[in-house]
Chain A
């Protein structure tokens, strides 16, 4: 019986050692994940995520220091895809997306906002009242920061007839 125990223990230890050596020395560097993420990101290098270009954002995502919701132009669709790719949970940020809106009574036509919008969503000219095209706005908030009169605000997107959704039925037995 002692012999059997010794044999199995030695065998186990030897195999375990071999496995750990293999894991150390034969490890395949996984660049594939970073490449895939680069494919998913818009690739415009706008910098709104705060990282140096989309490459920097991809590195941060792979390293786990950035959340999947980091890219405003990608919107909720991109956040979901990135979360699925990285195997991370997306915090259920309930509610409709935030979009910029201009209060026309406060707009002075300074035209600081339009130049900064990454998707050209703000229409207007100097000394003219500006307006935000909701279809193009990604809610990144850059324009809100530069507006001197605070006429630009981020507000939840109002549900239209076409975008209204049936609510999820309540969970049973809870």
Chain B
């Protein structure tokens, strides 16, 4: 397959040497697991267990709510300690509804049924099972995989792209997964091809991972439909839109979906999870996480149960050696700054990083924009970051939308190259949040107006009813007096 190119992009130092090649180790089971009810795009899951209930490993804890949602399963056996609020792994530090599970260390699996051959099931049934296993996109967007598969099949997608690019620095979880479990991933790809009824699959891996390329090539050799490709490494080659452009030269239409181009992109971890679900009836209850950064003494790739706290992972890797280190969930380019280590690992967590100020390389103060245009050169989406941030600063919400704020994916390439160290993606996030707040306010204003009108209408109805009742009473009295008068006659 001939490769094309995408616009812009940057070359941050990969820093993967810290954890690359470290074999996957299992994190010792923590005593408590904190499972947020919202770990996916869409509606949060609804709990089906009660406090105090004993659950087995893999047992359903919360069911999907609506079509775009995903269920949650117990990462280990134990007792439900609480269903309440716990800090979300989010920059705000605000709480999310969370199920808190006290593990008993026995790792008893819940009852499982015998499994049919996935290739004998209908594509809809395969997708349904993928959804029932709680599988969501493991690359970062966390979109429910079953919905993606069904919609893509209906759209007639012909090629499944397995994203093994892993372009974020420091993170090596997908790399290690491909090196060690290539066979299972290949099987997962075949299962997904069946669910999609697609004819081709391409595994795209950046060329800084030669061992993974070799492992996947060996594993996919037997299947003529799967091609393994090595990509030149450049951030953000792992972004779905840029990956589609790299492989085919096609662009996802603005406001449209990737499947419009005939391709569907899924993370390697998702393919692995699909294999586990369809072959071993294992729901998504654990994932590989890279713990790395200059402030981590022993960087590692860990297999971690969902709900383990970042503190548990860091403790296993030697703690955090630098007080001033910044804790991140994800990679340094797009990762969430964490309020502290007491936050849970969720389905989309590919890395927990502790970065020293030197590694971050941030100036203490941003300086004025000199309009050098490096951000424009670096933007993979062809936007004008300096103009967008100017409008965000001036709170010109119409202007910023006209310049294409909705096209921005906050990859961070612009701020990476900015010589004035202006926090561009933070301006965009601020603008998006302000626009969302405006929409919420307008909706509330409409709603309160409706309520006020309904109240007025209710009063009027009551007045009318009272008047009618009074009129009826008067009408009822008249015949009686007529009769009396007649009597008196």
Contact = CB atoms under 8 A, between A and B. Distances in A.
A53 B369 CA distance: 49
Contacts of B437: 163, 165
B426 A163 contact: no
Interface of A: 42, 44, 46, 73-78, 80, 118-121, 135-136, 138, 159-161, 163-173
6 contacts: A76-B441, A77-B438, A165-B430, A168-B427, A169-B366, A172-B369
Interface string B352-376: 0000000000000111110000000
A73 B393 contact: no
Contact of A119 (B90, B393, B433, B455): B455
Nearest to B452: A44
Interface string B434-467: 1011101110110111011111100000000000
Contacts of B436: 165
Contacts of A46: 452
For chain B, what secondary structure do more than half of its interface residues adopt (helix, strand, loop), or is it mixed? Answer: helix
A138 B452 CA distance: 11
A118 B448 CA distance: 9
Contact of A165 (B90, B433, B453): B433
Given A80-B438, A165-B436, 18 more contacts: A44-B456, A73-B448, A118-B455, A119-B455, A120-B451, A120-B454, A135-B444, A159-B94, A160-B94, A161-B90, A161-B92, A161-B94, A168-B392, A168-B430, A169-B423, A169-B426, A169-B427, A170-B366
B449 A42 contact: yes
Given A136-B451, A161-B88, A163-B440, A169 B445 contact: no
Contacts of B456: 44
B94 A165 contact: no
B441 A73 contact: no
B35 to A, nearest CB: 16
A89 to B, nearest CB: 12
Interface string B187-216: 000000000000000000000000000000
| 10 smallest beta-carbon distances between A and B, as pairs | A165-B433, A119-B451, A166-B429, A77-B441, A164-B92, A44-B452, A77-B442, A77-B445, A75-B445, A42-B449
Contacts of A159: 92, 94
Contacts of B171: none
Contact of B422 (A42, A166, A172): A172
A166 B426 contact: yes
Nearest to A173: B368
A109 B58 CA distance: 48
A119 B454 CA distance: 8
Contacts of B440: 163
B401 to A, nearest CB: 16
B444 A75 contact: yes
Interface in B303-358: none
A119 B448 CA distance: 6
B471 interface: no
Contacts of A171: 393
Contacts of A80: 438
